[in-house]
A and B are shown apart, each in its own frame.
Chain A
Amino acid sequence: MTMLATIFCPEGGHFALALACALALMQGVLPLAGLRRTDSPLTALARPLALSQCLALLFAWTCLVTASLGNDFSLKLIAETSAINKPWAYKIAGLWGNHEGSLLLWVTLLSLWCAGLALLPGQSAARPEGLPLRLRARLLALLGLVGAGFQLFCLTTSNPFLRLWPVPADGMGMNPLLQDPGLAVHPPLLYSGYVGFAVPFAFAISALLDGRANALWARHMRPWVISAWALLTLGITLGSWWSYSVLGWGGYWFWDPVENAALIPWLTGTALLHSVLVVEKRNLLHVWCLLLAIATFAFSLSGTFLVRSGILNSVHAFANDPARGLFILGLLGLYGGGSLLLFAIRAPALPTPQAGFSPLSRESALLLNNILLCTLCAVVLTGTLYPPFMQLLFGRTLSVGKPFFDATTIPLTLPLLAVMGVSMALPWRQTRADRLLPRLAPALLITAGNILPAFWLFPTPLAALSALLALWVISAALCDLILRLRGLPEGSRQLHRLPRSLWAASLAHVGVGVTILGLCGMAGSQERLIEARPGTHATLTGRDWELTALTAHHGPNYEVVEAHLTIRHHDAHGPVLTELTPEIRLFPRQGQRTLHVAILHRPLEDLYAALGSVKEERDPQGQSHYSAILRLHENPLASWIWLGGIVMALGGGLHLLPSRRRPKPVEGELRSCR
């Protein structure tokens, strides 16, 4: 049985990947050929081809996972990243912690999105609101072309099924830093977000080919934008939480080029999410929306792939290989450059409605949101690419880091928050200031009432101002919900009668506010660095931290040194609050160590301890004494940062739930576009 698996799994997986590539190419070419005529059986092939391509890739994964669980070190990928004594969960998760595996994950997720698109019921007599079948065939074909290119890349330069001879007795083991539950889930989430933006991209290309983009097109595209955005939000949130809980100095965002590479498509994706609404409700801004859809996917591609080229100076980079970089750049040029060229040729000819905006209208607020988000995006992009381009063009080396990004992005985020609060209360088309003000009054009162507490609670005026604006966003979103509920006809004032999209938007806005509050809280984090022998007490913000013991034990594939800390309220005699055990893990095989931070998440603060190193000293009697270097933090509102991210993603998820039939349309604004 094992023998059979050893022979079959690698080759079976390799074959499945090659088959999937061929299927993707067919999925890309055949339906497009069929669409040239009115009624061709080729068009109908898109769906079965997409499904079978997805099955082939899932089969390839099954083979890879079986081989990894069975310690088949004849596979180069497994020999280089796995080892016999690695915990089984990481034998699976470790597969996407490297270039080849993560690329296979990328193409598989793309095929899953395709399968989702193929399985969703299309337009029929019973479901006139479904996706038109011809549009779906074209979308699947375009996605097939994207998939085929990257599967070809996978097969030719980064094949995860390459064999090794002679077969080593044991693998080299994984980078210990990656042996962490957060990091096992982070890439799939982040990648599904990145890849998910391929669907809006296909919508945009299809619209350019058709020469038509209208409200209906936007309506069909919106759920795909929202789902990709929600997944990307979750992925970034998880990545940030990982660096907070693993890297050991309490930082959550480093403005590293690779982090920026994820933030850039998130910013344009968020802008797309909002501009799609304007296209749908007001039939305006199509061209802009098309460009955003293309740009978001192009940035996703550059984000996932420039990381692998070695151009950017980053800690997170994969093993770099300029030859691969060139192939990637070719693909980027083909998909990103090709579609921008198509945009340059076709977009000017798109019919544009000559309608204007009233300054006091929701579309106007959404336009402002887009302007600010895209400016933020331009700043992050420039900051990320400035150093390599300065070096290339002028031979000068310089750095653009956290202090620069803090100084430039915060002033742009604050007006964005201010607009966010107003936007929910604004109706489409236009309103008058005397109607708007009463709607905003409750939120304004709440925010104004908290000015003094904010400046008292938060350490810097900037943090206090940001926190106030975050509060403004949250209270405006919630007050708007309440006001709309009161606007419902008497007798039907139930929460579920409000449109789900309204709920979703409010929830997402509350999430943004919560994250910003968390960031402001973190500005006041307190830390202490101590060198302590067991029995030593240290005080931090009115609590007593005692190092009770230092111990060591075995882990599955590592050795552990643990510091046992007891934290008490007030002083050394106060009631015990909690115990924390930060540890150092040693991975002898890789000759590396990792920190494992101990964190107590409380609603209003995180208690955070990291063990830096342990020293041995001998006294004159030859007795050994151990002392530990510990970093203790108190991080106010830290968990709010990630809680907000989850709430944002939940907002997106809520939007996607199939909506219940409402008894009758409620809001006048929904009818206004007819």
Chain B
Amino acid sequence: MPLTRRHLLAALPSLGAAGLGLGFIRMLHGLDRGQFDPRAINTPLTGQPVPEFPALSSLPGQAGLTREDFRTMTQPVLLSVWASWCLPCVEEIPFISQLAASLAAPRKKRDAPLALWGLCYKDQPASASRWLERAGQPFTRLGLDQDGQAAIEWGVTGVPEAFLIMPDPQVGGRIVWHGTGGLTEAVYQTRVVPHLEAAP
């Protein structure tokens, strides 16, 4: 049977369907392993300098957070965006306090240097300080973003989120990683640690 133009045309729909089907299989596979999320939002800030944002005050007795702090930073910073009213943030407490403890008393070389800073999103100071007590005061710097304006500059779409910032004297801090969803041991080991190890 000679192949004619009709054969080619008639095969097109099944080829198209096969392509779509392959794509769908890959997507389902990715969904299963958490690599594909149709609701995911790529932040354009990854790889960019830290954005300008309004200076944030903190709770009494703690250092606040300003753009200037990122210009003078000397070690990588993990900035956690959280709120006491958000359930996943409460679930995040054990890991955050454990991480803070291991950073304060480094056992292995790679545990340090890293600073853990916090950005508290649209929260009452009283409930924020209760959350911090439960977590064992994990942050060395904390910004209270009560009107959410700083979070907009950071492109935050929800809590919890986290940013990893590397010192960069030329631009004053560069964001190298951004994660949505709570910080866990697994996320920390697979996403954050490689950046720390790659750093000079």
Contact = CB atoms under 8 A, between A and B. Distances in A.
Interface of A: 287, 291, 294-295, 298, 306, 309-313, 320, 322-323, 325-326, 329, 332-333, 336-337, 340-341, 343-345, 347-348, 385, 387-389, 391-393, 395-397
A310 B21 contact: no
B38 A313 contact: yes
B38 A348 contact: no
Contacts of A313: 38-39
Nearest to B14: A340
Contacts of A294: 13
Contacts of B20: 385
A340 B13 contact: yes
Closest 8 CB pairs of A and B: A340-B14, A313-B38, A348-B6, A347-B10, A344-B11, A397-B42, A322-B31, A322-B32
Nearest to A306: B24
B41 interface: yes
A524 to B, nearest CB: 34
Nearest to A340: B14
Contact of B41 (A306, A329, A397): A397
Given A311-B24, A337-B21, A389-B23, A395 B42 contact: yes
A126 B70 CA distance: 91
B38 A343 contact: no
A337 B19 CA distance: 11
B31 A396 contact: no
B14 to A, nearest CB: 4
A388 B26 CA distance: 11
B3 to A, nearest CB: 9
A344 B10 contact: yes
A396 B10 contact: no
B14 A341 contact: yes
Contacts of B29: 322
Given A310-B38, A329-B24, A336 B17 contact: yes
A396 B18 CA distance: 23
A391 B41 CA distance: 10
Interface in B1-50: 4, 6-7, 10-11, 13-14, 17-18, 20-21, 23-32, 36, 38-42
Given A309-B28, A329-B28, A333-B21, A391 B38 contact: yes
Nearest to B19: A389
Contacts of A336: 17
A454 B28 CA distance: 50
Contacts of A389: 23
Interface of B: 4, 6-7, 10-11, 13-14, 17-18, 20-21, 23-32, 36, 38-42
Contacts of B31: 309-311, 320, 322, 325
B73 to A, nearest CB: 29
Given A309-B31, A325-B31, 5 more contacts: A325-B28, A326-B25, A329-B21, A387-B38, A388-B27
A310 B37 CA distance: 9
Contact of B21 (A295, A332, A344): A332
A344 B36 contact: no
Contacts of B11: 344
Contact of A343 (B13, B23, B41): B13
A392 to B, nearest CB: 6
B4 A348 contact: yes
B17 A340 contact: yes
Nearest to B8: A348
A105 B7 CA distance: 39
B36 A348 contact: no
A392 B14 contact: no
A343 B21 contact: no
Chain A CB within 10 Å, residue with most, of B10, B32, B39: B10
A392 B23 contact: yes
B36 A392 contact: yes
Contacts of A311: 24, 27-28, 31, 38
Which of B4, B38, B42 has its CB near the most chain A CB atoms (within 10 A)? B38
Nearest to B15: A344
17 contacts: A295-B13, A306-B24, A309-B28, A310-B31, A311-B31, A313-B38, A323-B32, A325-B28, A325-B31, A337-B21, A340-B17, A344-B14, A347-B6, A348-B6, A385-B20, A388-B38, A391-B40
A343 B29 CA distance: 29
A478 to B, nearest CB: 38
Contacts of B7: 344, 348
Contacts of B17: 298, 336-337, 340
Contacts of A340: 13-14, 17
Given A311-B38, A332-B21, A337-B17, A348 B10 contact: yes
Nearest to A396: B42
Contacts of A392: 23, 26-27, 30, 36
A667 to B, nearest CB: 34
Nearest to A342: B14
A309 B38 contact: no
A306 B40 CA distance: 18
B152 to A, nearest CB: 18
Nearest to B41: A397
B38 A344 contact: no
Nearest to A398: B42
B118 to A, nearest CB: 27
Nearest to B33: A322
A348 B30 CA distance: 38
B69 to A, nearest CB: 30
A158 B29 CA distance: 20
Contacts of B36: 391-392
B13 A291 contact: yes
A51 B23 CA distance: 39
Given A322-B31, A391-B36, A396-B42, A344 B25 contact: no
